[in-house]
Every structure is written in C-alpha cells, then in structure tokens.
Amino acid sequence: MANKALIVYFSLSGSTEQVADLLAKISNGTVHPIQVVTPFPEDMYKTNDIAEAQREDHTYPELSGKLPNVADYRIILLGGPVWNGHPATPLLRFLQDVNLGSVPVAPFFTYATDPGDYAKEIDRLLGANSLAALGMADAVVAKTSKATAELQKWWDTVRPR
C-alpha cells in the first residue's frame, strides 16, 4: 500500500476536477469523483441558496454511485469548491457517509474570489485526521504550470513517508 493516495472530489464548474486530475498525476493516486443524485443548477446564486438551506437543515444531497473503501489507502486528498465560504454540501454528505477511520486527509479547495472559513471548517470536521489544507484560486487553476508547481509543493508536505 506504499504511498497509495485516493483523490476524492466534488466539482461543479470543473476547477476542482482539474486540480484532482493534476493531483492524480503528481501522487500517482486513484481518482474518485463524488456524484449527486440530483444535480445542482449551473447558476451559482441558485446553488448557493440550495446549499445554504441544506447546511441549515443538515439535509445534504444524496450521493450516487459506490463509495470508495478508504481503508485501502494511506492518504485521502479531499477536494471541493467553496460555496458561500463553506465546503460544498456534497463533501459534507461524503464525510457523513464514510468512516475515515485513522486515514489522514489532506483537504484541497478551489474558489473564485474568497475562500471564507473553508479551511477552518473542514479542519474542524476532519478532526484528528486533518492534514494541511490547500486553497487554490480559480485564476491559479487556469494556469496549469503554476497550479502544478503549487500542488507538487503541497503534495511534498502531506504525502505519506
């Protein structure tokens, strides 16, 4: 199981997916996209309204597909977009549905303008499993060579030894 990484992510606009794909190349990891039964609207204002109601009620979206067996991995790289300063609700559902056990989790996130309290919130949710988070602006994600350099630096700090 040497250095076996699982990259779990949710992406609506494609930015987080792009980061996950780069991380898969850097870490030689396995990619697992989080899919929801009912897709979110492409309009971020509508999506933010839906996500806000889900957070308030703790009724996170139902996930589709099989969940990965995280015990098969030495590290999980968990990624998602920032929605209104918070982790996207499909990630919250994933964390609710999956027993992480003692597998360390390194969160990464993408954002358009303001990451809000994403890093603090995800760190609190992950507890003892949490490793250093990496936030990446969409403008950086769009510059593949710059994004790759930042991701490589981050991977070098969180990868299993």
- Domain extents for the chain? 5-156
Give the model's confidence band at 3: pLDDT under 50 very low, under 70 low, under 90 confident, else very high.
low
Residue whose token pair is 């889900």: 54
* Integer Cα distance of 122 and 129 in angstroms: 11
- Reported CATH class of domain 5-156: alpha beta
Which tens digits make up the pLDDT trace of 73-131?
999 999 999 999 999 999 999 999 999 999 999 999 999 988 999 999 999 999 999 99
> Which residues make beta-bridge pairs with 76?
6, 105
2: pLDDT strictly greater than 70: no
Residue whose token pair is 């590290």: 75
Q: What is the pLDDT of residue 99?
A: 93
Identify the H or E element spanning 131: none
